[in-house]
Structure 1
Amino acid sequence: MQSAAEASDSPLTERQRDVLDAALGLLVEAGDALTMTSVARRASCSKETLYKWFGDRDGLLTATVQWQASKVRGVTVRRDGLDLASLTSGLERFASDWLRVLSGKISVALNRVAVSHAGSDKRDLGAIVLENGPFAMARRLMPLLEVGRDAGLLAFDDTEDAFRTFFGLVVRDVQIRLLLGDRFELTDVAIDGEARRATQQFFALYGAHTNAAG
């Protein structure tokens, strides 16, 4: 039987993406009640197929969270030719994608269920979301921050600390407000503006020239 890890190492087929979208839809509607049977029914496939592709329910949940997180586009990390403009553009795009995903109904539903698991003996989805959400975002973005530092564009001692600062500047109180039921909506224009603001504030804190001037 294929494990979730093995499944995530290879590109998803269109059919597998459709199944994961069906699982995400069920999470929004049913939350913790999601089962292999309900996903198979919604996606018009057999449970045997789900087990073959994803291993078990935890494997399906992992693949579902990874699929949702993949909507945050990766940032190309190249040491040659990196300048302030390209670094700024990469950080703004990453922040913009991140806010769009976090503020969507699907992510809010996922995180609500994950939080409920964290306070009980059912810790599976909480651990899955943590590992494939913020931890995965850190693994994807920290190499760019380090390349920016090596290029003399950023100045910091601890990469993880710099990432967590960027995380805080991007997310601010958006996620907790949505989790608690605030019904505000972020337009695409507002999200892009928030991404620019967060990136500017990050450079104010960690820009090499800023730190040198201070």
Structure 2
Amino acid sequence: MQIATIPSEEAPSERQEAVLDAVLSLLVEQGHALTMTAVARRASCSKETLYKWYGDRDGLLAATVRWQASKVRAGNYDAQHLDSSALRESLQGFAVNWLAVISSRTSIALNRVAVGGAGSGRDALGAIVLANGRFAIGERLKPVLEAGRAAGLLAFEDAEEAFRTFFGLVGRDVQIRLLLGDAMALDEAEIEADARRATNQFLALYGAGKSPARAGY
């Protein structure tokens, strides 16, 4: 299956953001029942405009997921002059952004719909979320990890394995608990504390001086 994507550098216009907001609100309210007609009505635009911008429903969903995922960034850093402080700040910033996104009401609704439809064959949202969410986010952070290795600050053999370790340390069981209806509330202070803890743990595992062969254990 070919999954629709939109280039990460293409920031949506203000009008397009209103459309993507409409998609998210409708997913919260209607789940799989979301239609192009409903989005056009909620966003006060024509279906023709939606098809012109996004191609079809999957394209619209892909744009929505990519827009949500674009909020998760590792911050600015100079790969040529990366030091331990800048690396820590980048990793912690990524963790803060990701935790804030996955704990939002709209992301919980989006992921519930994606999980619910993944094994049903009803739509491609599960694959869209993987391609434009988790996998896209991974490709966004791995250059930071590789820059840290090049600067002698990190030791690992495989960037994907290192990313998955960091991803797990940040997320723990938070996302699955939220998806299953746990009423846990993550305020700004708690997110900051969790991000700091995960970053410290990751650097303890993968910091320079660790054996690359055992850095993930």
Q: What range describes the TM-score normalised by the shorter chain of this pair?
A: over 0.9
Does structure 2 conserve the Cα–Cα contact (< 8 Å) formed by 1:77 and 1:147? Answer: no
Which residue does the alignment assign to 1:55? 55
**Is the deviation greater in 68-77 or in 121-130?**
68-77
Amino acid across the alignment from 1:76? N
User: Equivalent pairs: percent with the same residue?
Assistant: 63
Which residue does the alignment assign to 1:105? 105
2: CA distance, partners of 1:198 / 1:24: 29
Aligned residues: 211
1:144 and 2:144 are equivalent in the alignment: yes
Which residue does the alignment assign to 1:83? 83
**Is the deviation greater in 197-206 or in 10-19?**
10-19
Secondary structure of the corresponding residue to residue 63 of structure 1 = helix
Task: Give the superposition deviation at 1:89.
Answer: 0.3
Which residue does the alignment assign to 1:190? 190
Amino acid across the alignment from 2:45? C
Secondary structure of the corresponding residue to residue 170 of structure 1 = helix
1: CA distance, partners of 2:101 / 2:110: 11
Secondary structure of the corresponding residue to residue 52 of structure 1 = helix
**Is the deviation greater in 28-37 or in 116-125?**
116-125
Amino acid across the alignment from 1:53? W
> How does the TM-score come out when normalised to structure 2?
0.92
Structure 2 segments unaligned to the other structure (5+ residues): none
Amino acid across the alignment from 1:121? G
Secondary structure of the corresponding residue to residue 20 of structure 1 = helix
Does structure 1 conserve the Cα–Cα contact (< 8 Å) formed by 2:66 and 2:132? Answer: yes
Does structure 1 conserve the Cα–Cα contact (< 8 Å) formed by 2:68 and 2:101? Answer: yes
> How does the TM-score come out when normalised to structure 1?
0.93
* Backbone CA RMSD of aligned residues: 1.9
Which residue does the alignment assign to 2:94? 94
2: CA distance, partners of 1:188 / 1:54: 34
1: CA distance, partners of 2:161 / 2:71: 24
